[in-house]
Structure 1
Amino acid sequence: MIISMNNFFFKKKNDFSKSIKSYVTRRRNIKIRNIEYFLMCWNMYGINVDNVQLKLSDFFSLNQLYIIEIGFGDGQLFIEKALNNPHINFIGIEVHLKSVLTAIKYAYINNLKNVKIIFHDAVEVFIYMIPDKMINILQIFFPDPWFKTKHHKRRLINNFFIILILKKIIYKGFIHIVTDCPLYSKQIHDLFSLCSRFRRVFFETAMAPLLELQGDTKFKKKAFLLKKNIFDYKYQVIN
Structure 2
Amino acid sequence: MSETTKTENNPQTESAQNSLHRRIKSFVLRQGRLSASQQQAIDSQWPTFGLEVSNEPLDFNAVFGRDAPTIVEIGFGMGTSLAAMAEAHPEQNYIGIEVHRPGVGALLKLIEEKGLTNIRIFNHDAIDVLAKRIPKNSLSAVYLFFPDPWHKTRHHKRRIVQPAFVKTLAEHLKTGGHFHMATDWENYAEHMMEVMSAAPDFKNTQAPGHYTPRPDYRPLTKFEQRGHRLGHGVWDLIFEKIS
Instruction: Give the TM-score taking structure 2 as reference length.
Output: 0.82
Aligned mate of 1:17, from 12, 17, 20: 20
**1-structure distance, mates of 2:57, 2:199:** 26
**1-structure distance, mates of 2:81, 2:60:** 23
Paired residue total: 220
2:51 maps to 1:47: yes
**2-structure distance, mates of 1:139, 1:79:** 13
Shift of 1:32: 8.2
SS in 2 for 1:112: coil
**2-structure distance, mates of 1:87, 1:183:** 35
Match for residue 203 of structure 2? 199
**2-structure distance, mates of 1:153, 1:202:** 27
SS in 1 for 2:64: coil
Shift of 1:61: 1.2
Shift of 1:222: 3.8
Amino acid at match of 1:168: H
**1-structure distance, mates of 2:224, 2:129:** 26
Match for residue 135 of structure 2? 131
Match for residue 140 of structure 1? 144
**2-structure distance, mates of 1:60, 1:86:** 12
Q: Is the 8 A contact 2:204 2:239 kept in 1?
A: yes
Shift of 1:36: 6.1
| Bigger radius of gyration | 2
SS in 1 for 2:240: strand
**2-structure distance, mates of 1:47, 1:57:** 14
SS in 2 for 1:113: coil
Shift of 1:38: 2.3
Match for residue 58 of structure 1? 62
SS in 2 for 1:213: coil
Match for residue 121 of structure 2? 117
Amino acid at match of 2:81: L
SS in 2 for 1:17: helix
**2-structure distance, mates of 1:193, 1:32:** 45
Q: Is the 8 A contact 1:140 1:177 kept in 2?
A: yes
Q: Is the 8 A contact 1:142 1:219 kept in 2?
A: no
SS in 1 for 2:232: coil
SS in 1 for 2:73: strand
Unaligned runs of 5+ in 1: 1-14
Shift of 1:227: 1.1
Going from structure 1 to structure 2, the CA distance change for 1:32 and 1:109 (only over 3 Å counts) comes to closer
Unaligned runs of 5+ in 2: 1-16
Shift of 1:28: 4.2
Q: Is the 8 A contact 2:145 2:181 kept in 1?
A: yes
2:179 maps to 1:175: yes
Shift of 1:110: 2.4
Amino acid at match of 1:103: L
SS in 2 for 1:128: helix
2:93 maps to 1:89: yes
Match for residue 8 of structure 1? none
SS in 2 for 1:59: helix
1:33-58 Cα deviation digits (max 9, x unpaired): 98565222001111112233222223
Instruction: Give the TM-score taking structure 1 as reference length.
Output: 0.83
2:74 maps to 1:101: no
